[in-house]
Amino acid sequence: MVDESAERLTRVFAALADPTRRDLVARLASGDATVGELAEPYDMSLQAVSKHLKVLEEAGLVTRSKDAQRRPVHLDAEVFDLMTKWIERYRQQAEERYRRLDALLDHMADNTDHTPTRKDAS
């Protein structure tokens, strides 16, 4: 059974795999916007932008609210904590592997520095 946070992480990374959705997230990082405002720079319909936003919403990256006549889209930064924790765990593991490799290479270099050469043996 896949745990809930792993499933959510899968949806987030899948949603961010699309460059348009990544751009929408980047734009929402500077503030809320309506679907119309978000659609302006793209050569696509409002419906197409709405579909991208629906994917982001299902992944938990954005929420939509009602503000009088506006329906602003809001970036939910909490999901980035989940992504950061996942990335950080594997970054730490990779760093530990590099530290062990560095130590091994240093040990090997020390041993070759102390190995007598033919000239030293005479």
pLDDT of residue 117: 58
Q: Are residues 11 and 55 in the same domain?
A: yes
Q: Are residues 63 and 96 in the same domain?
A: no
Q: Name the band, by pLDDT with cuts 50, 70 and 90, for residue 57.
A: very high
Across the chain, mean pLDDT equals 87
Higher-confidence residue: 2 or 58? 58
Q: Are residues 64 and 28 in the same domain?
A: yes
Q: Are 38 and 27 in contact, with CB atoms under 8 Å apart?
A: yes
Higher-confidence residue: 97 or 4? 97
Q: Name the band, by pLDDT with cuts 50, 70 and 90, for residue 121.
A: low
In a domain, 120, yes or no: no
Q: Are residues 68 and 85 in the same domain?
A: no
Structural domains of the chain, count: 2
By residue range, what is the domain housing residue 101?
A: 79-115
In a domain, 121, yes or no: no
pLDDT of residue 41: 93
Q: Which residues of 93-113 are buried (b: 16+ CB within 10 A; e: fewer)?
A: eeeeeeeeeeeeeeeeeeeee
pLDDT of residue 113: 65
Q: Are residues 47 and 106 in the same domain?
A: no
Beta strand residue intervals within the chain, DSSP E: 62-64, 73-75
Higher-confidence residue: 119 or 75? 75
CATH at 38: 1.10.10.10
Q: Are residues 64 and 8 in the same domain?
A: yes
The three-state secondary structure class of 12 is helix
Q: Name the band, by pLDDT with cuts 50, 70 and 90, for residue 71.
A: confident
